Amino acid sequence: MSSLTVLGSGSRGNACALEVEGAVLLLDAGFSAREVERRAAAAGVDLGRLAGIALTHEHGDHAQGATRLAARHRVPVVCTAGTWRALRAPAGVEHRAVSGSVRAECGPFTVTACVLLHDAVEPVALAAAAGGVRVGVAYDFGRPTQPLRFFLRHAQALVVESNYDEVLLRTSAYPASVQHRIAGSGGHMSNRAAAALLEELIHPGLGAVVLAHLSQQCNTSLAAQRAVEPVLRAAGFRGTFAVANQDAPLAPIRLTRMEPALSRAQLVMDL
């Protein structure tokens, strides 16, 4: 069985676990190593089968526990060259580079990346493919580009940022400069923008959508759900819909293999 488990997502930490073919890949590790292990155990994810850790960028809420976990479990860190430099990983931790034009192999997983605009050194969206399953993860960006839309198409599961409610942002205690940054192209995605992007990405094989990286000050799970889920259902989405929780893992989401007619090579090329 293949599954996706969101171990937590929000301003204070982000991590997902993809399980395919008896192996586990972490997509971000934005909690302490101990907390990632605690959440994984609570969700039934066996990190003894960890094949690697793939990172979107170096900010602490996405990478805090990555190098310690990699050293402890003797697995590589998959990330861009810029992210790797910013991590300042201790000696002995293996790096496998990924970029918009370079993919990385990690156990049964093929990891690909798409460049994003964000205030990090070299941030990317990630996609991981293995065993006829592919998952896309994209957060910490303000505007979806055409390359990102292309990159995320045909995934069976998507974890996409739905950071703020526009009214809650405008009426928040944040100064105008901060509000402008959050709503800017290099900032974060609103609920409304997330709905529009995901509506474009619906296809018959899309089995799960998870809204992630919600702002504690400018969003609520209910506001995000009300803004996004009706749009997706009206467009024909019949899969699992969930809103990630900052403080606890979501239940594992079972993923179904692609049709055999689509080869693994085609699957990776599409991402």
pLDDT in tens, 93-135: 999 999 999 999 999 999 999 999 887 889 999 999 999 999 9
| Whether the predicted pLDDT of 261 surpasses 70 | no
Could you tell me the CATH number of the domain that includes residue 109? 3.60.15.10
Q: What is the pLDDT of residue 270?
A: 52
| pTM, to two decimals | 0.92
| Whether the predicted pLDDT of 17 surpasses 50 | yes
Q: What is the pLDDT of residue 263?
A: 42
More confident residue, 267 or 150: 150
Q: What is the pLDDT of residue 117?
A: 82
Domains in the chain, number: 1
| Whether the predicted pLDDT of 34 surpasses 70 | yes
Q: What is the pLDDT of residue 262?
A: 46
DSSP string, the chain: -EEEEEEE-STT--EEEEEETTEEEEEEE-S-HHHHHHHHHHHT--GGGEEEEE-S-SSHHHHTTHHHHHHHHT-PEEE-HHHHHHHTPPTT--EEE--SS--EEETTEEEEEEE--SSSSS-EEEEEEETTEEEEEE-S-SS--HHHHHHHTT-SEEEEE--B-HHHHHTSSS-HHHHHHHHSTTS--BHHHHHHHHHHH--TT--EEEEE---TTT--HHHHHHHHHHHHHHTT--SEEEE--SSSPPPPEEE-PPPTTS-HHHHHHH-
Q: What is the pLDDT of residue 1?
A: 81
Q: What is the pLDDT of residue 266?
A: 45
- Determine the structural domain holding residue 76 and report its residue range: 2-270
pLDDT in tens, 134-169: 999 999 998 899 999 999 999 999 999 999 999 999
Q: What is the overall mean pLDDT for the chain?
A: 93
* Averaged pLDDT, 81-101: 95
* Averaged pLDDT, 257-269: 51
